[in-house]
Amino acid sequence: MNRASKEVKESPISKQAIGRFPYYLKFLNELNRDHHEHISAATIAASLQLYEVQVRKDLAAVSRSAGKPRLGFPVAELIDDIKRALRYDNLDQAILVGAGHLGTALLSYKGFSDYGLEIIAAFDTKASLHETEVNGKKIFPLENLNGLCRRLNVKIGIITVPADAASGVCDLLVGSGILAIWNFAQTHLSVPENVLVQDENMAASLALLSKHLAEKN
C-alpha cells in the first residue's frame, strides 16, 4: 500500500497451490451463499482436510488485504482474490481439435465459463461432422484452423484426438499461433519453449488407482 515502488508483486503461487485454489473457491462460494461474513484458515483446512499452515500460506499468497486475527478473512473479498489469482475473471477463448466422444463431452460442458474458458469452435478431419454443431459450437475441417485462430487471436488449443494424430495436430496448433495446449492424448508433445503443454495424464491416474488397490491386498 505505502511502499515506495508499488510494482505488481509477482505472485509466488506454486503449481500445487494452484490445484488447491479451485477447492477453496468452491467451499467459499457455498459459505457466501449462506451469508457467512468471515472465515478462518483453520475452518477451511478442517473442511478440506488440509493442514492449517498450508491454507494460511496459500491464502496469504493471493489475499490483497491481510486476514484479521480473531476474525479471519472476509469471504466475499477472498473469493474475488482467488478468482483474480486463477484468472477466472478474464475469459480466454479456446478451440478444440478432435470431436470424438471426449471432445464432444468437453464441448458440451457448460461449466468452463466459471473457469474463464470458452471453447468457440471445434475441428475434426471427419467430413460428416463438418458444419454440424455441438452445444452451439460448430465443427470445421482442420484446414480452417489456422485462419480462424489468427483471425480471432485464439491462443488456447485443446487436443482430444487419438494418440497417433496428436503430434501432427500439435504442430498445426503451434503453427497457428497457439500458446497453450491442453493435451488429452497419451503422447509426448514437442513444442517451442514459449508454448505450454498441459497434459491431462489419465494413464497416470489409472496407474495410481491400480497401485493403491494392489497395496490393499
- Which residues form the interface with a copy of itself (CB under 8 A)? 15, 18-19, 21-23, 26-27, 47-49, 86-88, 92, 100-102, 104-105, 108-109, 111-112, 115-117, 155-156, 163, 179-180, 182, 186-188, 190, 194, 196, 198, 200-214, 216
How far apart are CB 34 and a copy of itself at their closest, in Å?
A: 14
66 binds, among DNA, a copy of itself, none (CB under 5 to 8 A by kind): DNA
143 binds, among DNA, a copy of itself, none (CB under 5 to 8 A by kind): none
Q: Is 16 in the site for DNA (CB under 7 A)?
A: yes
* Binding test (CB under 7 A) with DNA, winner from 3, 6, 9, 15: 15
132 binds, among DNA, a copy of itself, none (CB under 5 to 8 A by kind): none
Burial class of residue 43, CB neighbours in 10 A (0-12, 13-18, 19+): middle
Cell numbers of 209, please? 488407482
Which residue, 106, 143, 150, is CA-closest to 125? Answer: 143
Which residue, 13, 77, 91, is CA-closest to 39? Answer: 77
25 to 54: interface string for DNA, x by CB under 7 A: ---------------xxx-------xxxxx
CA distances 165 to 97, 98, 100, 172, Å, are: 10, 9, 13, 11
